[in-house]
Amino acid sequence: MDSGMIGKIQKAKRYAEQLDRIRFDAFKVNIEGDNSGHLVSYSEGQWNCDCGFFASRGVCSHTMALERILGVMLPLPREAEPATV
């Protein structure tokens, strides 16, 4: 393996350990729930899910599960961001 590729692999390992480098802008995920599958999407800080609970409450077990998995890789909600001085 050439030295250029070795350097890239070392950098990839370092990036993968520093999760605060990564922020998701948008994605779609299928979650297999206990009763049926659900399509969850995320775009610019907004969640969406096709389940009935999300439609009435704006949050559900599917979106909360993804928040738990992704953690620090999601941007803070706008109202939770510290004010810039």
Nearer Cβ to Zn ion (6/39): 39
How many Cα neighbours within 13 Å face the side chain of 32? 0
Rounded CA-CA distance 48/29 in Å is 10
In the stretch 17-56, what mask flags binding to Zn ion with x, by CB under 5 A? ---------------------x----------x-x--x--
Q: What is the 3-state secondary structure (H, E, C) of 2-45?
A: CHHHHHHHHHHHHHHHCHHHCCCCEEEEEEECCCCEEEEEEECC
Task: Using the minimum distance from each CB to Zn ion, give the nearer residue, 17 or 34.
Answer: 34
- Our finding on whether 66 is near Zn ion (CB under 5 A) is no
Rounded least distance, CB 62 to Zn ion, Å: 3
Question: Is residue 62 involved in binding Zn ion (CB under 5 A)?
Answer: yes
Interface with Zn ion (CB under 5 A): 38, 49, 51, 54, 60, 62
